[in-house]
Amino acid sequence: MRGTFFALVALGLLVSPRESATQRIDLRLGGEDGQSWADQTALNVMVDLTSSPGAIQPLFLDPNVNVITQIGPWFRFREPVELDFRPGMPHVWRAIGSIREVGRVADALIFIDGDRSTYYASSGFTAHGGQGGVEGEFYSIDLGTRIPAERFVMLPPEGTEPITQEPYNPNYFFPRYELTASNDEVAIKLQDGAWCTNHFWCVGFYIPLDIVLASVEGNLESTIEVSFPRQYLRFFRMRFIPDSQCCRDGQNTSFERYAVSELEVYGRGVVPEVRWESKVIDLGQIVNIGQVHLGVSTWRKDAVASEPEAEPEAPTQVRVSVRTGLDDEPVAYHTYNDLRQPTEVSATDYARLKPRRWPFDPPAAGWAGPITEDRDNWSFWSPPLEQSGEKPRVPRGRFIMLRVEMDSESLESFARIDSLVVETSPLLAERILGEVAVVDDLQPEGRVALLPVGERTELVYEIGTEFAAGQAGFDGVRVLAPSTAEFLSLEMGNPLQPVTVEPADVVSEERGFIVYLPRPLSPEGDQRLRLRLETALYNASGALRAEVFRREQAGLPQEVESGDVSDEIGTNQLRMVAVESSLGSVLRQLEVQPSVFTPQGDGINDIVSIRFTLFQVLGGTEVEVGMYSLEGQRVWQQVLEVQRVGPQEVEWDGRDAAGTLVPPGVYMARVRVEADQGDSAQLQVVGVAY
């Protein structure tokens, strides 16, 4: 197990068996009674864990403090091979190659450790030359994220050269050097490929980054200090240019004197994008995940010495993502079998394998293979939650990981997370499975429910349960449809039998409904039910999700998972797909009622209703509804900023943009939609009479 795991007892969450069926459990970080952020940290990308006790916030950079010493742990190589390295962790490497270290200096970590007693110095230093020459000696630094940088420093060693007794400062200096920087992570990752298609030794060639901060000849200073206008930067590359240049004839480039102790980076102000991830946290039992509550405050800090002041309207953003798992290892490690096929191994065994560092290293038994996400036992990260009280869409799990991202658009403003609380509660059932089919096609070809787009279709939604001892069961079902849905009937039992549901026990919601069951599903009672409902699909695909709950108990709802409930239904899933032939324009079914109206204030035909339907709109789109004269002059318009799929309706009272009744006559109602597939517009005639 690579992470540090925390049982319920450590989190203060342990409850008695008698209480466990009903009591809600909270996982708390920060605040007065929560776990320490530092103790739970697996990844820290420029997050300040200490300035405000119990809270986290972005780093505020002091222009006199080396950023490199404030972050870590540090790794070597452009693509570090250590198992505990994660994207966003800082690293440093020599030359361009991610693995091979060209020349005699083997460990660039000594140049970013903040220790002047660790260094490399030499007279007549040779940088590997010839066909694979480095054309200089250079080092690259990845800070993990952008910072408001303004200064870069190279320090020589302290003390004297052991043989000649010459002081390193001021006698050892680089007459020529170049400092470049970048924010382009993709370009840096592609640099090896640009040079090393056929030759493994070409990893040393120098490629400057896209932002040139300094290019100096005639330097006489042992300490190099480059100041530049403050700007957001993530990558730095420092190149020392040799005294003698390689002529591509097999000769080596060389430095008469070479001495480096530290490479330093300085910035000033709030780091604009920071990220924090937790270790794997053991909740002690498989639980349902509820809402995430955030205690967030926003602040302004003008200078290092100043105290932060509250700034309610600070241009900041906080996002929290959640993932859950059934075991304590969210990644899967692989080696190779005799057929060169990846085969999974434990993290302990993987650490003993030979790492594949070169393209010609064999994918064979005994060699390290790919490290992948464990999709069998771990969920994907949930979509980011931006408001306190939102519920992440993650399945049940015993283990949980949290990711926090904080952004700021100002160098002086930042958000602070004072506390983070995740609601959890024991399972209502060990597993709750569901599958959906069209009522007239229970065994569809391709094992997926096929629906004509935009047409109300009757569906069967079957739910089956598996219980363990002591689990409470449920007596309520919430169906969450892609569009409005209507409950039709309910069957329960084994075999299934029709059950009468009183109208008061069905509650309609915007995109679905709630059914209160006449009797619960429980270990001692019914363990299967079937709903019939009617809904429509307005996209190429959608899911008919559901969650179940126990009335009169404080526990959290439990999500229904896709699975095989019965042999009668052959989809084994909750996803629905549109019949391809029914897909068409994103804007359809435009109608205007009444076609002629009389907006004279007598309460009869005073309003015209403009109805239309949106299809295949992902994430919402902007819709313009306007009225135009026959000459093409717009007299009225309403812009609907975020409209989703399904039927829409807009009303017009016959007045123009100034609020004046339009003259009688014929007008054109125009609806225009901006969508990924392109703009779509339709027109309908409207008559105005008095």
- Residue 648 confidence (pLDDT): 86
- Please report where in the chains the tokens 């902007």 appear, as a residue: 622
Together in a domain, 107 and 244: yes
Q: What is the pLDDT of residues 577-626, one digit of tens each?
A: 877 655 567 787 788 999 889 898 888 888 999 998 887 766 667 888 99
Together in a domain, 54 and 81: no
Strand ranges (E), 439-551: 449-451, 457-466, 474-480, 485-492, 497-499, 506-509, 512-521, 528-535, 541-543, 545-549
- The secondary structure of 404-464, three-state, reads EEEEECCCCEEEEEEEEEEEEEECCCCEEEEEEEECCECCCCCCCEEECCCCCEEEEEEEE
User: What mean pLDDT comes out for the span 433-454?
Assistant: 91
Per the domain annotation, does 2 fall within a domain? no
Domain total for the chain? Answer: 5
Specify the CATH number for the domain of residue 601: 2.60.40.4070
Could you tell me the CA-to-CA distances from 202 to 93, 95, 98, 101, 199 in Å, in that order? Answer: 15, 10, 12, 11, 6
Percentage, residues of the chain above pLDDT 90: 59
Together in a domain, 38 and 163: no
* Overall residue count recorded for the chain in this entry: 690
Together in a domain, 561 and 664: no
Q: What is the pLDDT of residues 266-301, one digit of tens each?
A: 999 999 999 999 999 999 999 999 999 999 999 999
Together in a domain, 49 and 67: no
Together in a domain, 532 and 650: no
* Strands 331-336, 371-373: pairing kind: antiparallel
* Strands 680-688, 596-597: pairing kind: parallel
Together in a domain, 191 and 156: yes
Residues 6+ apart with CB under 8 A from 66: 114, 153, 264, 265, 266
Specify the CATH number for the domain of residue 508: 2.60.40
Task: Specify the pTM.
Answer: 0.78
- Residue 105: pLDDT band (50, 70, 90) is low
Adjacency order of strands within the sheet including 634-643:
596-597, 680-688, 665-673, 621-629, 634-643
Residues 6+ apart with CB under 8 A from 375: none
- Residue 567: pLDDT band (50, 70, 90) is very high
**Among 582, 613, 642, where does a domain finish?**
582
Q: Residue 46 has which token pair?
A: 């420029």
Domain region containing 236: 63-267
- Residue 277: closest CA among 152, 179, 428, 405: 405
Q: What is the pLDDT of residues 351-403, one digit of tens each?
A: 899 987 666 788 899 999 988 889 889 999 999 999 999 999 999 999 999 99
Per the domain annotation, does 272 fall within a domain? no
Q: How far apart are CA 409 and CA 685, in angstroms?
A: 47
3-state SS assignment for residue 487: strand
What backbone phi and psi angles, to 5 degrees, belong to 566?
Answer: -150, 160
186-195, 209-218, 222-231, 430-439: lowest mean pLDDT where? 186-195
Q: How far apart are CA 576 and CA 449, in angstroms?
A: 5
Q: Please give the DSSP secondary-structure letter assigned to residue 108.
A: G
